Amino acid sequence: MTAPRATKTRTPKIRENLPAPQTAEGLFFHYTPEEAAQWTPFSARTLRDRIAAREIEYVFNGRDNYLTGAQILSLNERYTVKPFSKTHTRVAA
């Protein structure tokens, strides 16, 4: 006889009415990786993996990992590709 297969999957709980990270209240608000994923170029899984590898800044409260709004903004700034502007120089004839 085999053991019954687990059918429950863990769905992350995302709180409602979260402040945006760029607002004054959101800069110091603690977002879970699932909540922060909507404002970053990464998925929640990628954020959790990068936190575990200590590749990005995060807040650890003794049990869970969080990202503040300021950390989300700096993460977006770090991974934003800026357009290349080539300077044109004139050649004197």
DSSP calls for 25-84: TTTS-EE-HHHHGGGSSS-HHHHHHHHHTT-S--EE-SS-EEEEHHHHHHHHHHTPPPPP
pTM of the model: 0.76
Per-residue pLDDT 10s for the chain (93 aa) are 777 777 777 777 888 899 999 999 999 999 999 999 999 999 999 999 999 999 999 999 999 999 999 999 999 999 888 888 777 777 776
Domains of the chain by residue range: 40-78
DSSP 8-state secondary structure symbol assigned to residue 92? P
Residue 41: both structure tokens together:
């170029």
What are residue 60's DSSP bridge partners?
65
Give the pLDDT of residue 29: 95
The answer to whether the CB of 48 falls within 8 A of the CB of 69 is no
Give the pLDDT of residue 93: 63
Give the pLDDT of residue 34: 94
